[in-house]
Structure 1
Amino acid sequence: MKRIGFVTCVQLGLSCMEAIYDAGGEITLAMTLTDEQAKHKSGRVYIDDFCAKHSVALLKSTHVNNPEVIEAINRYKIDWLFIIGWSQIASKELINSPNEGVLGIHPTLLPQGRGRAAIPWAILKGLDETGVTLFKLDEGVDTGPIVEQISIEMDRKMCATRLYEKVNQAHVELIKKVIPDLLRDNVEMLAQDDTLASEWPGRSPEDGQINLNGSVVDAERLIRAVTHPYPGAFYYNNKGQKVIVWEAEISNECKSGDLEFNDGFLTIIKSDVSE
């Protein structure tokens, strides 16, 4: 039996831990943040009960690259280490600590979309397809060899909320699909073709401002791209108030409360006024 380690502090990671057991695997060592860290992080969970239920050794540390984490990986002779839903960047020493490597999941079809803000960018770019990629970490950013991918079809009405859910489901499906091969030493990896690679930059809440002098098509797409669980698209009304728009649709006729653009009107369905 391969000795699996897991690093996470969010619900998505815990769901993937559960998926490992559903697929016939076991976890030897789990690492998470200390209890007082990232209390307000989206999806923050505590994995103590899961580890106790499955007799998994649990280490809490302020950073994944701390010496005690490296020592634990070596002491428990971890073969594969999963890092899911984790914002700290793994060091070269950590990447080289497990016997066979470190595995991560990126929410695009690598080598497309290396970098940040994968869900908003997939919508903003009007893609017909996106997905998730399980890959072996190296010292680059999302550049390691691909283990497996799952595709997600995009449609004209895809919003961040729905895509976020689909991406999370695909994480779990990917884990269940790969674990049996991982346990049998039957994993084949495919080097990424750098000539096909693209890098997507990070986004800030300020990038969600609607251009009232632009296209209604672009505005509607932006609203879908940064709705929940993201901060939302916004504009300032004639009172100077910040209006966060969570859902809207394009209209050819102007109705009361619509935003007017050069090429159409935007009917706001759900919004909040930020005081």
Structure 2
Amino acid sequence: MKFAFVTCVQIGLSCMEAIYEIDGNLDLIISIPDEKAKKKSGRIYVDDFASKYNIPVVKSNHINDEIIINTIKEYNIDWLFIIGWSQIASKEVIEAPNLGAIGAHPTLLPVGRGRAAIPWAIIKGLDKTGVSFFKMDEGVDTGLILGQEEIPIGENEISTTLYNKVNLAHEILIKKLYQGLIEGKVEGYTQDETKATYWDGRKPKDGEIFETMKMDEVDRLVRATTKPYPGAFFIKDGKKIIIWKGIKSNSRRSSNIEFEINLEDGYYYGLNYEVLDK
């Protein structure tokens, strides 16, 4: 059975490494050119990994480019993994492998279809999330579920630690799934459309803090957008203050070290912040 992998982010690389940890094998890696999406969260380059295991690599600007479709067919790929890839694969790409394409999404589908799953889970105040592997169809995160791993979200969880949890859940799931595919024991099940929700994409500007916000709202925003994301920020005196870590308080502090934001129901203090020109 032949497998190919499409990725350009750390979670995808971790999945490929996990496959080789169980003595698996990949027959092709597809990625984007090195000069593209350099600031993408979690961006990695596949060349060292591919060289280590002597895996052919093809790079193209878009997953739906003809060269990608032709290469999948040329290598007679059975299963195509598409992990951490923001471009939507066309019907032609999904149907190019002999048995299908498999996607992964960092929520417990059908909850949280769409984008920015890790920040949204914290912003929405959820107490759990997860990772879902699914057989791709023409919808967005709508295919048959092939496996899920639940992830608890701590009260003070930040995107950095949740990203690591999501990464580990991908590794655990792909080992199970890869072995199941080899043995022909994977059975998918249909998503419950009555429980489906969709989360929009997020841009750096969505991290702006306003004094009209509540303390809890600001705290979730800071925790959700800290590294590896662009960070929550506040504009003051023509400066952009990015707050990477903060604390909420009902009282004013006298310390000059912390950056203070006066909110409707209290104060928020930047314990780790960066001041930039707007």
Q: Do they fold alike, i.e. is TM over 0.5?
A: yes
Which of 247, 250, 253 aligns to 1:252? It is 250
Q: 1:190 to 1:141 in 2, by over 3 A?
A: same
Question: For the Cα contact (< 8 Å) 2:5–2:80, is it kept in 1?
Answer: yes
**Aligned-partner Cα distance in 1 for 2:220–2:40:** 26
Match of 1:89 in 2: 88
Q: 1:23 to 1:250 in 2, by over 3 A?
A: same
Does 2:266 align with 1:264? yes
**CA positional deviation for 1:171:** 1.3
Question: For the Cα contact (< 8 Å) 1:112–1:196, is it kept in 2?
Answer: yes
Q: 1:218 to 1:37 in 2, by over 3 A?
A: closer
Match of 1:124 in 2: 123
User: RMSD of the alignment, in Å?
Assistant: 1.6
TM-score (norm 2): 0.93
**CA positional deviation for 1:211:** 2.1
Does 2:169 align with 1:164? no
Q: Which amino acid aligns with 1:104?
A: G
Q: Which amino acid aligns with 2:195?
A: L
Match of 1:203 in 2: 202
Q: Which amino acid aligns with 1:150?
A: E
**Other structure's SS at 2:27 match:** strand
**Aligned-partner Cα distance in 2 for 1:132–1:200:** 15
Q: Which amino acid aligns with 2:240?
A: K
Match of 2:135 in 1: 136
Q: How do 1:1-275 and structure 2 match up within 5 A? A: 2-237=1-236, 239-256=237-254, 257-275=259-277
**Other structure's SS at 1:186 match:** coil
**Aligned-partner Cα distance in 2 for 1:54–1:161:** 29
**Aligned-partner Cα distance in 2 for 1:216–1:160:** 18
Q: 1:178 to 1:42 in 2, by over 3 A?
A: same
Give the paired residue count. Answer: 273
**Aligned-partner Cα distance in 1 for 2:171–2:261:** 40
Q: 1:220 to 1:40 in 2, by over 3 A?
A: closer
TM-score (norm 1): 0.94
Which residues of structure 1 form unaligned runs of 5+? none
Q: Which amino acid aligns with 1:26?
A: N
Q: 1:54 to 1:240 in 2, by over 3 A?
A: closer
Q: Which stretch has the larger CA shift, 205-214 or 103-112?
A: 205-214
Task: Quote the sequence identity (%).
Answer: 52
Question: For the Cα contact (< 8 Å) 1:147–1:189, is it kept in 2?
Answer: yes
**Aligned-partner Cα distance in 2 for 1:88–1:164:** 20
Q: Which amino acid aligns with 2:245?
A: E
Q: 1:240 to 1:165 in 2, by over 3 A?
A: same
Displaced runs of 4+ in structure 1, greater than 4 A? none
Question: For the Cα contact (< 8 Å) 2:212–2:263, is it kept in 1?
Answer: yes
**Aligned-partner Cα distance in 1 for 2:209–2:247:** 14
**CA positional deviation for 1:54:** 2.1
**Other structure's SS at 1:258 match:** strand
